Amino acid sequence: MINIDISKKEYPSFETLKKTLIDNNYERVTMLMKPGEFCVRGGIIDIFSYDHSLPLRLEYFGNELDRVCSFSIATQRSVTSLTSTTIHKEPSTSMPFFEFIDVPKNENLFNQLQHGDFVVHETFGIGIYKGLKHLTVCGRDGDFIHIQYQGEDKVYVPFEQMNLVHKYTNADSPKIGKLHDGSWKKNIQKAEKQIIQLAKEVVMTFKIRQSKPGFPFQEDTENQIDFEQEFEFKETRDQLLSIDQVKKDMESTAPMERLICGDVGYGKTEIVLRAAFKAVENNKQVAIIAPTTLLVDQHYQTFKKRFINFPYKIGILSRMQPKKNQKITIEKLKEDKINIIIGTHRLLQKDIEFSNLGLLVIDEEQRFGVTHKEKIKYKHPLVDFLSISATPIPRTLYMALSGARDLSLIKTPPTNRKPVLTYVAPYKNDIVKQAVKKELERNGQIFYLYNNVQTMDAKLVKLKHTFPDLSIQMAHGQMNEKDLKQIFTDFKTGKTNILLCSTIIESGIDLPNANTIIVEKTEYLGLSQIHQLRGRVGRSNRQSFAYLLFNPEKITDKGKNRLTAIQAYAALGSGYQLALKDLEIRGSGTLLGNKQHGHMTSIGFELYCKLLETAVENITHSKKEVKKRPVRFAADIMTYFPTNYIPCENERLSIYQRLLSFKYRDEIEDLFNEMEDRFGRLPELILSFLRCIQSQLQKR
């Protein structure tokens, strides 16, 4: 163990520390990702010590240790200054957790181009990324992106044109192009023609709904104010803004179509409650559709509790209710004797008729297919629509980002909410034992996610053998509804220590005393699924833990990408970032049918999205209002970062790309601070380069 105490000047010299780390089997890398690694940049040594939840950054000035702090892997930025610490030379019995405090500012950090990746240049087409190459052209030094095409064809892309290069993210391997055969130009022309047509359809569908007169709800009543004052928590800034946006939409004559994207436990349900109250105060019915009977029942209990002092009738409709009760509920809906109905897909069936529907809410909207949502719109074309999700499906998210839907983001965590400490590792029985022991020591409960109903009985037997003194129950979607409800009641009241379950708990289950979740065979789960499951813990102010365990022999490259993204975006409020990452990994799907798939494949997903976004903007705004592209900087300056300052090629490319996205001068100031934190004092050469770029940007 290496002891470091700045105040007492007790620490190894720069060279001694490097040698000690190597002698103790620490691996030298270009950027830290896991315990047992270190990297060196100038006078800075980054170390991910065993038994530390965050890596350490040590900055030397000569042999004097000038600074010690912890930092976030997700942003590579310092988090907490330290005066003393220890560096463990080998793993101990306790496990390291990958803890990330903040949401990454740089989305490219965990999706950087690697040598051999397919890339798309907007002018020259699809080629292979061969890295950065330092060249001197016309007396000017710079880093250039090297793209290899068929045969001897190659392109070197200078700094000021790097925004023309996109990663090719479709699942299929593309055909590498030639520079002079004209095929790329034909592909782009065909794709742009279809994209413009698609943009017109997207905007037209949206405008048709907006042009028809919907019901303009009145401003808040005294009852509304009283109802909202009964909320037992303090609203966050983003929550209040989203509530205000929803109310303005409802008071407009155009039908609302808004997506609320907020992380698990961030208060999305309260927004729904207030919108529903506004609707019933205006004598309109409300329908809330959720994907599971458990979530429907939870919403039903929440609504009954919040509406107890008001005269409105709340109904429930799912297969959990007897047929006789369902029939009575449906009749009451027709006769306007139920004001708010909460149900599953059952609310989409043909026998459902409303007397005066004014607001339709889709909760956990990523669980509903495109067909379901189009069916709802067709049946109720003029009602206000509100979709709620922590990780909206890529298609819906893209529609919001391309201007075809209104989007509200809730990024502010509730007071005292802590991020889930997330551990990603190959499955080991010892990890499970330690995780259970740790949670039981503080009288907590554990979710054990095992998403294979056929072998779940056998898994239950194994768990009971491993933990003979604990109460363990099993829950999955094929069980009897009555039994299932009792099992969850037992777990909620603390009679059960471990709940072995399928992904039935994925949507909205809120059990504050369960703050550890163990997920087995994570490699078979989707990105949004993993994030939703992790959101089942950490619902109180108690520290929560998620153990994402996988089989290293079964995991695919896409599975690895998902787990890397989960590690990187373990922060509070990261559901939106994960949805963007999912958009990148899976693609947006067909926006309005299958006809666009070929064009998306031929030019790559990123470029396709860029062209579609531009087309939508051009249609929905006048030319004067269309957003300008980021500034392309003057090409008469030195454009490279020396390798002795930023050794990692991917990090250099990432910063070049960020520079090209900047619009305002103060963004450069933020980058100054980040670079000095990560790489040490800025050399005069780099300072001049950045100041030159800053002079060409706008004041905010």
DSSP-derived secondary structure letter, 391: S
Residue 98 pLDDT greater than 60, yes or no: no
b (16+ CB within 10 A) / e for 228-260: beeeeeebbebbeebbebbbebbbeebbbbbbb
Interval 18-59: pLDDT, tens: 999 998 889 998 877 777 889 998 899 999 887 777 889 999
Q: Kind of pairing, strands 340-343 and 406-410?
A: unpaired
**CATH superfamily name and code, 2-96:** Penicillin-binding protein 1b domain (3.30.2060.10)
Tens of pLDDT, residues 509-531:
678 889 999 999 988 887 767 77
pLDDT at 213: 80
Q: What's the pLDDT score for residue 109?
A: 40
Kindly report the CATH class assigned to 421-571.
alpha beta
Q: What distance in Å separates the CA atoms of residue 128 and residue 291, rounded to the nearest whole number? A: 43
Helices (H), 455-593: 456-466, 481-492, 527-534, 557-568, 575-586
**Whether the predicted pLDDT of 90 surpasses 80:** no
144, pLDDT greater than 70? yes
pLDDT at 593 over 80: no
pLDDT confidence of residue 572: 43
Distance of alpha carbon 494 from alpha carbon 483, whole angstroms: 17
Q: Would 2-96 and 421-571 be classified into the same CATH topology?
A: no
Backbone angles phi, psi at 621, to 5 degrees: -125, 160
Q: What is the pLDDT of residue 538?
A: 77
pLDDT higher than 60, residue 503: yes
Per-residue pLDDT at 505: 82
Per-residue pLDDT at 175 exceeds 90: no
Q: What is the pLDDT of residue 523?
A: 83
Compute the average pLDDT of residues 251-271: 87
CATH fold of the domain at 222-410: Rossmann fold (3.40.50)
For residue 420, the number of C-alpha atoms closer than 13 Å in the C-beta half-sphere is: 33
Mean pLDDT score, 69-75: 81
Considering 271-275, 345-349, 563-567, the range whose residues carry the highest mean pLDDT is 271-275
Q: 162-166, 497-501, 608-612 — which is least confidently predicted? A: 608-612
Q: What is the pLDDT of residues 574-583, one digit of tens each?
A: 555 555 555 5
Query: Given a cut of 70, is residue 637 above it in pLDDT?
Result: no
Q: In what order do the strands lie in the sheet with 472-475?
A: 421-426, 545-550, 514-519, 445-449, 498-501, 472-475
Domain boundaries, the chain: 2-96, 222-410, 421-571
Mean pLDDT of the chain: 82
Nearest alpha carbon to residue 189 among 523, 695, 602, 618: 602
Over residues 373-381, mean pLDDT: 70
The dihedral sign for the CA sequence 61, 66, 68, 71 = negative
Quickly state the pLDDT bin for 316 (edges 50, 70, 90).
very high
Which of 188-202, 370-384, 412-426 is modeled with the greatest confidence? 188-202
CA distances from 487 to 305, 376, 439, 472, 590 (A): 22, 33, 20, 10, 40
Task: Indicate the DSSP class of residue 419.
Answer: P
pLDDT band at 470 (very low <50, low <70, confident <90, very high): very high
Q: What is the mean pLDDT of residues 421-436?
A: 89
- C-alpha–C-alpha distance, residues 511 and 540, integer Å: 9
Pick from 20-29, 219-228, 247-256, 417-426: least confident: 417-426
Residue 503 DSSP class = G
pLDDT score recorded for residue 598? 64
Assess whether pLDDT exceeds 50 at residue 626: no
Rounded Cα distance between 376 and 326, Å, is 20
Q: What percent of the chain has pLDDT over 70?
A: 82
Inter-residue contact 130 to 148 (CB < 8 Å): yes
Among left, alpha and beta (phi > 0; psi -120 to 50; other), residue 461 is alpha
Q: What is the mean pLDDT of residues 262-282?
A: 91
CA nearest neighbour of 383 among 216, 631, 584, 240: 216
Cα(502)–Cα(448) distance, integer angstroms: 8
pLDDT band at 539 (very low <50, low <70, confident <90, very high): confident
Predicted pLDDT at 195: 83
Judge whether residue 471 has pLDDT over 50. yes
Ranges 84-88, 270-274, 351-355, 482-486, most confident: 270-274
Predicted confidence band of residue 242 (pLDDT cuts 50, 70, 90): very high
Query: Please, what sign has the CA dihedral across residues 235, 238, 241, 245?
Result: negative
Of 280-284, 484-488, 496-500, where does mean pLDDT reach its minimum?
A: 484-488
> Which of the pair, 371 or 512, is modelled with greater confidence?
512
Q: Which residues contact 360 (CB under 8 A, 6 or more apart)?
A: 286, 287, 288, 289, 376, 380, 383, 384, 385, 386
pTM tops 0.75, yes or no: no
Is residue 317's pLDDT more than 90? Answer: yes
- Residue 638: pLDDT band (50, 70, 90) is low
Burial profile 114-125: b = 16 or more Cβ within 10 angstroms, e = fewer: eeeebbbbbebb
Q: Please tell me the predicted confidence (pLDDT) of residue 570.
A: 52
Res 578: pLDDT: 57
State the average pLDDT over residues 69-90.
Answer: 83
User: What one-character-per-residue DSSP string does 573-636 give?
Assistant: T-HHHHHHHHHHHH----SSSGGGHHHHHHH-HHHHHHHHHHHHHHHHS-TTTSPPPPP---SS
Is the pLDDT assigned to residue 217 strictly greater than 70? yes
**Residue 103: what pLDDT?**
34
| 3-state SS, one letter per residue, for 270-302 | HHHHHHHHHHHHCCCEEEEECCCHHHHHHHHHH
Residue 30 has a pLDDT of: 81
Q: Please count the residues of the chain.
A: 700
The amino acid sitting at 181 is D
Residues 6+ apart with CB under 8 A from 672: 682, 690
Q: What share of the chain in percent tops pLDDT 90?
A: 35
Contacts of 94 (CB under 8 A, 6+ apart): 51, 434
Residue 200, both tokens: 């017109």
Higher pLDDT, 402 or 69: 69
Q: Name the band, by pLDDT with cuts 50, 70 and 90, for residue 94.
A: very low
SS3 (DSSP) at 473: strand
Residue 399: predicted pLDDT: 63
